[in-house]
Amino acid sequence: SQKIEQNSEALNIQEGKTATLTCNYTNYSPAYLQWYRQDPGRGPVFLLLIRENEKEKRKERLKVTFDTTLKQSLFHITASQPADSATYLCATGGLGSGNTGKLIFGQGTTLQVKP
Amino acid sequence: NAGVTQTPKFQVLKTGQSMTLQCAQDMNHNSMYWYRQDPGMGLRLIYYSASEGTTDKGEVPNGYNVSRLNKREFSLRLESAAPSQTSVYFCASRLKGTLAGVGTEAFFGQGTRLTVV
């Protein structure tokens, strides 16, 4: 079955460093991957989308890469701040394995940025 | 615009009771989704509706039913609640989930925290 996996262990980094989060997928060739941010007690909020024909996408301090050979997307936050502390989720859906409008998520990785 | 509105925000049920979680969106979106979120499990898709008039099972549909009442509303029903259904439930919508090669962003409600005792 289609699977999308993230490292469920929390990531702790120092303020100012670059945080790198990983999303791997199996049994699937997604047309795109999305990244969301979730704060405690709130619903996820969309951050970025990257399509299969795009190697890299940037938005302010955020950067997403998509490697279809490794079946992996990396999500980077540069110059991280304590306000970046949250859970980050990747999601996928779209063409590749029968596009039905489904949208599935990974487990999420919790990022803690220490001052 | 209110976005995606879920009701209720909190609910406690006894085992065997039934209830319906309501979700409405005012963004004229075609696709709507129900997820449950448990610690360490991320968001798991229960059911979704790619467009008005259609519903499909997600990853964890057992014990649930859904109704796409109209384009705005998508409800989730627990016919006989079980303690294993204790979770936080999220409704989401997006413009169109089936557009080839284009993944439109999903908008989420605030969640319903359900406890089954």
Over chain B, what is the mean pLDDT? 92
Strands ordered across the beta sheet of B4-7: B4-7, B19-25, B74-78, B64-68
**∠ at Cα A101 (A99, A107), nearest 5°?**
100
State the burial class of residue A9 (Cβ atoms within 10 Å of its Cβ: 0-12, 13-18, 19+): exposed
B26-42: b (≥16 Cβ within 10 Å) or e: eeebbbbbbbbbeeeeb
Task: Count CA atoms within 13 Å of residue A55 on its CB side.
Answer: 1
> Residue with structure tokens 């409600």?
B109
Around Cβ A55, how many Cβ atoms within 10 Å? 10
B36 touches chain A (CB under 8 A): no
Q: What is the pLDDT of residue A32?
A: 85
pLDDT classification of B98: cutoffs 50, 70, 90: low
Per the CB < 8 A criterion, the answer to whether A78 and A59 are in contact is no
pLDDT of residue A97: 43
* Residues of chain B positioned with their CB less than 8 A from the CB of A52: 101
Which of B41, B59, B108 has its CB closest to that of A107? B41
Cis ω before B8 (30° cut-off from 0): yes
> Which residues contact residue A43 at a Cβ distance below 8 angstroms, ignoring those fewer than 6 apart?
B4, B90, B92, B108, B109, B110, B111
Beta strands in A7-101 (DSSP E): 11-14, 19-26, 32-38, 45-51, 56-59, 62-67, 72-77, 86-93
Nearest to A94 among B43, B103, B110 (CB): B103
What percent of chain B shows pLDDT beyond 90?
77
pLDDT at A105: 93
Tokens of A35: 């990244």
B110 in reach of chain A (CB within 8 A)? yes
pLDDT at A48 over 80: yes
Q: What pLDDT does residue B57 have?
A: 93
The pLDDT, as a whole number, for residue B18 is 97
Of A46, A95, A101, nearest to B50 by CB-CB distance is A101
Mean predicted confidence (pLDDT) in A42-47 = 96
pLDDT digits 0-9 by tens, B13-70: 999 999 999 999 999 998 999 999 998 788 999 999 988 889 999 999 999 999 998 9
The share of chain A scoring above pLDDT 70, in percent, equals 93
User: Does residue A13 have a pLDDT over 80?
Assistant: yes
Report pLDDT for A102. Answer: 82
Look up residue A94 and give its two tokens.
């779209």
pLDDT the model gives residue A96: 45
Q: What is the pLDDT of residue B103?
A: 62
The pLDDT confidence band at residue A41, using thresholds 50, 70 and 90, is very high
Reported as a single tens digit per residue, the pLDDT across A69-105 is: 999 999 999 999 999 999 999 998 754 444 567 888 9
Q: A31 to chain B: which residues are within 8 Å by CB?
A: 100-103
Map tokens 């284009």 to a residue. B102
Note whether A4 and A108 are within 8 A (CB).
Answer: no
